Amino acid sequence: MKVLIVGGGGREHALAWKCAQSRRVDHVFVAPGNAGTALEPNTSNVPIAADDLNALLEFALREKVDLTVVGPEGPLVAGIVDRFAAAGCACFGPSRAAARLEGSKAFTKDFLQRHRIPTAGYAAFTAENFDPSFIRAQRLPLVVKADGLAAGKGVVICESHESAIGAASGMLGGSFGAAGNTVVIEEFLHGEEVSFIVVAGGGHVLPLATSQDHKRRDDGDRGPNTGGMGAYSPAPLVTPELHARIMREVIEPTLHGLRRDGTPYTGFLYAGLMIAGDGTPHVLEYNCRFGDPETQPILMRLQSDLIDLCGAALGGSLDRCEATWDSRAALGVIMAAGGYPEGYRTGDAITGLDAAARLPGKIFHAGTRASGSQILTAGGRVLCAVGRGASVAAAQHEAYELVHAIHWHSVHYRRDIGYRAIARERAARRS
Ligand code: AMP
């Protein structure tokens, strides 16, 4: 069978690598892919942008692609699944209507409130009804969010009322384009964040291994928010009791609510959760796709055939599936271009990839491109080095061995990915 992966980041490299291992798959295409996907066996890049739905569909029809798996949110929110379905092509992901769970934060907050799913208190405003006195009446800090897709940049945590009014006014004034036509003003939640990702379809759900990511750029979870600087799986914070609570209080009511609202969900569903001190899982956000960089460590641990899981979700037989996992932990460190997430340079030659390939673990590419025999940086997040081990600490050690083998001008990476989990492991050993 032929598979098409849509996207070109680290998540898509991991999806392509995993799909190519399926005994049912003959060839994997990646559109547009990166220098890493081009090197995987039985895999090739296709020069089509992830948001060019017409060209993607034309390619899938021409090549008789059996299954398309969509990495990023953009094409899902734009309706790629509906377009493919109308042409009789299997495409794994939510419909445009169900993808609103990521495409509109105001829609999601309203949905969560209607279905009594725990989330922070909020109000939504447009330029017409924006009321600064609402902000002045709230407790600090406050979280201001652009309603639409803003590539992970549309969330501002404000320590003063004036900065919150400034952030909201800026968004409503067009600083995020149409994504900021509506703003959500949200109560700040304290706790620890967890990523909870499931495969859903046909009225059934299969939870994937738990994970946690680090969104801030610098060590100690400081500095600006990014797309993610590293992630690990499993998340020791998620005990079997908390796992059951998340399924019961968040995932099941969400999927049930979507069905009741006439927009049943198929695809990967990612809940970004804040676990409060009393253990209540609050939804911070939904993503209508796999996380990046959570995909990389999660798929390093998945022993089951991913194509089987996607097929079961599409065919309504997910209730008869079980995912099997490598019991080892996996941890991924993002290697970024200096300056990311703001301005950064591209075109630097990456050295040490061959040495890294001889070490245990795996390097997934993100912003890379080939130029002759060299591989050059071509994006903000460049590589994700994933290690495995009997503990998160051991997986961290293996991941940093890979990181230390690789160099380019002004590379930036965090040196502490997984520190919370490692502290938890140490505390558990002491008790
Ligand atoms: P989002 O895209 O909504 O997940 O927001 C990005 C990041 O902002 C989250 O991963 C959190 O670290 C932070 N954040 C968002 N909403 C809140 C909130 N209500 N309270 C505390 N932190 C938040």
Encode pLDDT of 124-155 as tens digits: 999 899 999 999 999 999 999 999 888 767 88
| Contact indicator for 378, 346 with CB cutoff of 8 Å | yes
d(CA 287, CA 149): 10
- How far is residue 25 from each of residues 18, 42, 306, measured CA to CA in Å? 10, 9, 11
Nearest-CA residue for ligand 1 atom 15 is: 284
Is residue 316 predicted with pLDDT exceeding 80?
Answer: yes
Nearest-CA residue for ligand 1 atom 9 is: 284
* Residue 116 CA, ligand 1 centroid: distance in Å: 19
Q: What is the pLDDT of residue 180?
A: 84
List, for residues 368-421, the tens digit of each pLDDT value.
999 999 999 999 999 999 999 999 999 999 999 999 999 999 999 999 999 999
Is residue 219 predicted with pLDDT exceeding 90?
Answer: yes
* Residue 284 CA, ligand 1 centroid: distance in Å: 6
Which residue ranges have their beta carbon within 6 Å of ligand 1? 120, 143, 145, 155, 186, 188-189, 193, 215, 225, 272, 284-285
d(CA 359, CA 355): 7
Q: What is the pLDDT of residue 152?
A: 67
DSSP string, 68-81: EEE-SHHHHHTTHH
Q: What is the pLDDT of residue 177?
A: 81
Q: What is the pLDDT of residue 173?
A: 87
Q: For residue 174, what pLDDT band results from cuts at 50, 70 and 90?
A: confident
User: What is the side-by-side order of every strand in the sheet holding 281-287?
Assistant: 204-207, 192-201, 267-275, 281-287
Mutate to test the pocket of ligand 1, among 119, 143, 222, 226 (most ligand atoms within 8 A of CB): 143
Mean pLDDT, residues 207-220 taken together: 95
Q: What is the pLDDT of residue 154?
A: 86
Mean pLDDT, residues 207-225 taken together: 94
Residue 60, number of CB atoms within 10 A of its CB: 23
| Contact indicator for 250, 273 with CB cutoff of 8 Å | yes
Pairing, β 212-218 against β 281-287: unpaired
- How far is residue 17 from each of residues 42, 303, 305, 378, measured CA to CA in Å? 9, 13, 12, 20
* Residue 155 CA, ligand 1 centroid: distance in Å: 7
For Cα atoms 313, 314, 318, give the angle at the middle one, nearest 5 degrees.
25
Mean pLDDT, residues 88-112 taken together: 96
Q: For residue 183, what pLDDT band results from cuts at 50, 70 and 90?
A: very high
Amino acid identity for residue 380 in this structure = G
List, for residues 43-59, the tens digit of each pLDDT value.
999 999 999 999 999 99
For the chain, the average pLDDT equals 96
Is residue 84 predicted with pLDDT exceeding 90?
Answer: yes
Q: What is the pLDDT of residue 37?
A: 98
Q: What is the pLDDT of residue 175?
A: 83
